[in-house]
Amino acid sequence: MNEIDQCITIKKIIENNPKTDNTRVVYNHVCAVLFETCNHYLVHDYIDINIDKSVSICYCSKCMLTIHADFIYSYLKFKLDNTKRKEWSFYYNNIHYCMTDFFIDNDKIVITVFLNNISKSRKPNCFHFKGVDFINTHVSDTHIVMT
C-alpha cells in the first residue's frame, strides 16, 4: 500500500467517526498530503440538494477529495503559518505580490495582495479563484506559488 492509499484509508476512517481536535489535525494533514501528492483525475458532476435543486461539484476519482472553496480555504489555513503573516507572498503569472489575507466569497477563494511593496495607497487588490485553480499550486508556510 502506497502513501496515497494509506492516506485515503485514514481519511475514510476519520470521516466515518466522530471528530475530535486531534483527529481534525490528522485529517487536515492527510487531506493536505492527498491534495499535494495525488495525480488528480478530476470529475465534474452534479449532486441533488433537494428535489428541485442540484449543485455542481468537482472531485478527484483517485483520492476522493472534493475540490471546492471551503476545502482550499481549510488547506491554506493549515499550510500558511499565521505567525509569519508579514512574510506571506503570492506568486502568480511569474509576478511576486505581498499577500495580506485570503477568504471565501461566492464560492471562490479571494487572495488579497499589495500590487507593489511601495504602494502609496497601500490599498490591497484581490484575485478570485475557483477551488480547482489550486491544483498543482505549491503552498508553504509563507508562500503560495500558482502556475
User: Is residue 58 in some structural domain?
Assistant: no
In a domain? residue 71: no
Residue 54 pLDDT > 60: yes
Number of domains making up the chain: 1
Rounded distance, CA 86 to CA 27, Å? 27
What integer best gives the mean pLDDT of the chain? 90
Range of the structural domain that residue 96 is part of: 78-147
Phi, psi of 50 (to 5 degrees): -150, -170
47 assigned to some structural domain: no
Per-residue pLDDT reduced to its tens digit, 14-47 = 889 887 888 888 999 999 999 999 999 999 999 8
**Is 50 among the domain residues?**
no
Q: 52 or 105: whose pLDDT is higher? A: 105
Strand 89-92, strand 143-146: pairing: parallel
* Mean pLDDT on 50-60: 89
For cell 475514510, name the residue. Answer: 12
Q: What is the per-residue pLDDT for 55?
A: 85
71 contacts: CB under 8 Å, gap ≥ 6: 31, 35, 65, 131
Domain membership flag for residue 138: yes
The neighbour count for residue 122, using CB atoms within 10 Å, is 8
In which order are the strands placed within the sheet that holds 143-146? 125-129, 108-114, 95-105, 89-92, 143-146, 138-139
Maximum average pLDDT range among 10-24, 49-63, 74-88: 74-88
What is the pTM assigned to this prediction? 0.87
Residue 108 lies in a domain: yes
